[in-house]
Amino acid sequence: MKPILALVITAFFALPATAQESVTDSVAPLAPQVDEMDLSQFLWKKRVLVVFADSPGDPRFVEQMRLLSERPEDLLERDVVLLLDTDPAEASELRVKFRPRGFMLVLVGKDGNVYLRKPLPWNVREISRSIDKMPLRQQEIDMRRGR
């Protein structure tokens, strides 16, 4: 299994996420396999949520996957793409760029800026609030309201 899995959040949440094995093993067949992840492919299209861990068995990783699976529609509404990296030995491009130490959650906006770095799992409500404070998200909300 490749260390980085890129997937649209809906594909991820269609899978069972009760045990750490089912999270990582079940996501692999549906996620596009990516050898070198270039965040520029998401620029101005998607927000990227990257979850790093030293192992798929890391309790914080398992907890983060559980939290994300509780409210996937909130992340889908905000154009979020989820990237997972649970193999520090591979030294992926994302690991080189963000330099995680163990578990880390990173939120990258559509503009390519890092808006959030957290060493502990966050629930979707907290992540959504962070996204809703971004300037581009504010513009999207205003456009939807017809302003």
Annotated domain spans of the chain: 4-145
- Measured CA to CA, the distance from residue 24 to residue 45 in angstroms comes to 25
What are the start-end ranges of the H helices in 59-123? 59-70, 72-77, 93-98
pLDDT higher than threshold 90 for residue 10: no
CB distance 63 to 122 below 8 Å: no
| pLDDT tens profile 111-124 | 999 999 999 999 99
- Measured CA to CA, the distance from residue 48 to residue 44 in angstroms comes to 11
Q: What is the dihedral of CA 60, 122, 48, 92, to 10 degrees?
A: -20
Taking residue 71's Cβ as centre, other Cβ atoms within 10 Å add up to 16
- Measured CA to CA, the distance from residue 30 to residue 98 in angstroms comes to 25
Output the pTM of the full model.
0.76
**C-alpha atoms less than 13 angstroms from C-alpha of 91 in its C-beta half-sphere:** 0
| pLDDT tens profile 33-88 | 344 568 999 999 999 999 999 999 999 999 999 999 999 999 999 999 999 999 99
Average pLDDT, the chain: 81
pLDDT of residue 30: 29
CATH topology of domain 4-145: Glutaredoxin (3.40.30)
pLDDT higher than threshold 90 for residue 139: yes
